[in-house]
Structure 1
């Protein structure tokens, strides 16, 4: 098991490493304390849910409360930008990033893949189709509406619900919208990786 300890130290790396050595020497056998890295800033949301700002300006986000595999790419970008601004004390930058995100959403300036939710498929096509009459699931219906009849469990798909639009598979021209009763309309951006 690995745990992380973050300390607010006003010292240099040599002093930090010395402190880690001193504390590590007091720990019981089998428990090891290592110096991993130092960061310019940290924002802690909850236990094991935090953001770090490296000295080179990179934002590292950890924990399910701070990010989700289903998050839309535009939201991930905004979150990272906002976290960077907060950790740098730039609240005006947070507001500007928020207003710019609203603008591109309202003007529909983003590609379909940027507003699509990512799902990992847990059922293969045969399993889903066998139970489809009992319960329809949006991610599989989006695949079917895009003309896909075969897929494997573990494959990833990105899609979003839309109204009064057409289905647009990633890197292809638009095709007429098909409706799925009870699930709404879909615009699809398929991806079998990442």
Structure 2
């Protein structure tokens, strides 16, 4: 019985060592198969051509068109809020990063969030933000300054009539004391009675 147990432990040890060896061998085996078949699309940038990295070109960029993107900043409340640059020129399909600068000019901690808007309105469906400070709410200490990015790409399907897009943000205090915009009231005229 003891001999059979020792034999079984030996077999299990060999199987365990074999499994670890196979696990380590999978990476070079996978790389070899991908190189032979050309199916590893993610590694295209790692291929070496005559000692240099291959330049992978984004074929979705429409270099035949240039669109001017203008940046606007409005704040409802005590903030210093502005884009780091007023405009950029981009090609549709090209990934672009711009920065917006914020400062809490009050002597108290404040939380705020931004809401974007676009002009012309038809551009909003084609203006894709990959990263934006407008996705989150932020808290700034008194006098604190921050700069946050907006990473965007304009869909090449945007109408060729559009050559300028304005991205505007309104930055407002969350739960703050800034009053809401007034609501227009409508007066209903008095109806005269039929007997008058």
Q: TM-score range by the shorter chain?
A: under 0.3
Q: Which structure has more strand as a fraction of its residues?
A: 2
- TM-score scaled by length of structure 2: 0.25
TM-score normalized by structure 1?
A: 0.26
